[in-house]
Amino acid sequence: MSGRHRADSQGQLATLDAIVFFSAAILVSSVLLSYSLEAPQSAEIRPTRDPANVLEVFLRASVGVDIILDLGERAVIRSNEQIGECLNIELRGLSKGLPIEAFLPLNEQFSDTLQRLCGLSFHHRLVVLDPTSEEVLAIGMDIDGDARNTFASSMDMRDVDGTDYLVMLVISTCVS
């Protein structure tokens, strides 16, 4: 009897140890799996196209369509005009007190072009700052998403009058 009793006690102790080992193994596995699976989700979602590259080719591209503007007198923007030059014309008009609504068709074309270049999964906003860092033009929607998923690039642009502007492109993922 005493032998059997001793064997039972040892068996129960061994089972308890095994359960502790099993629990520890499950705990370690869970921690490893959760870390391994969560890592990509917490990582930043980069745009497929580099914002600096997008801004550079955008400013050098042609407008693509003829656009008629009412700037007091009828003004025609030809399809082969470069976007950078048209932006200069708009900035000069705005500095002379023309309303932003006068350039609405041009800005819509800029926004459509940027959307195509950035990709449909991304929001874009083109901002132009004057030498006093005041925003003089903003095209596209407001971006106030996660900073990890927001990317920007800027370029200096000189007006024909010699005024230096800073053109900034902000790209953010549509995931909020």
Partner 1 sequence: MRSDRSGVAGFFEDLPVLMFVLSGVVALVLTSVFVSERISASGLDEQLDAVAKRIVDSVASEMLFSCGPDVLPTVASICAFDYSDLVSQLSDGRGFALSVFSLHPSFGCMLNISSDQGSAPRSTGYASELLNALGDNGLNMVLEVRVIVW
Q: Which residues bind partner 1 (CB under 8 A)?
A: 3-4, 7-8, 11, 14-15, 17-19, 21-22, 24-26, 28-29, 32-33, 36, 48-50, 53-54, 56-58, 60-62, 64-65, 79-80, 82, 113, 116-117
> Is residue 165 a contact partner of residue 157, using CB atoms and an 8 Å limit?
yes
Instruction: Find the shortest distance in angstroms from Cβ 133 to partner 1.
Output: 28
Instruction: Find the shortest distance in angstroms from Cβ 45 to partner 1.
Output: 14
Instruction: Find the shortest distance in angstroms from Cβ 155 to partner 1.
Output: 14
Q: What does the DSSP assignment read for 93-115?
A: HHHTT--GGGGHHHHHHHHHHHH
Instruction: Find the shortest distance in angstroms from Cβ 50 to partner 1.
Output: 8
Decide whether 41 or 80 has the Cβ nearer to partner 1: 80
Please tell me the distance from the alpha carbon of residue 34 to that of residue 162, in angstroms, as a whole number.
Answer: 57
Decide whether 63 or 170 has the Cβ nearer to partner 1: 63
Instruction: Find the shortest distance in angstroms from Cβ 22 to partner 1.
Output: 4
Please tell me the distance from the alpha carbon of residue 131 to that of residue 39, in angstroms, as a whole number.
Answer: 42
Instruction: Find the shortest distance in angstroms from Cβ 72 to partner 1.
Output: 28
Decide whether 18 or 164 has the Cβ nearer to partner 1: 18
> Is residue 45 a contact partner of residue 149, using CB atoms and an 8 Å limit?
yes
Q: Which residues contact 71 (CB under 8 A, 6 or more apart)?
A: 93, 98, 102
Decide whether 34 or 70 has the Cβ nearer to partner 1: 34
Residue 54 falls in which region: left (phi positive, over 0), alpha (psi -120 to 50) or beta: alpha
Decide whether 25 or 104 has the Cβ nearer to partner 1: 25
Decide whether 8 or 70 has the Cβ nearer to partner 1: 8
Please tell me the distance from the alpha carbon of residue 88 to that of residue 136, in angstroms, as a whole number.
Answer: 12
Pairing of strands 74-77, 122-129: unpaired
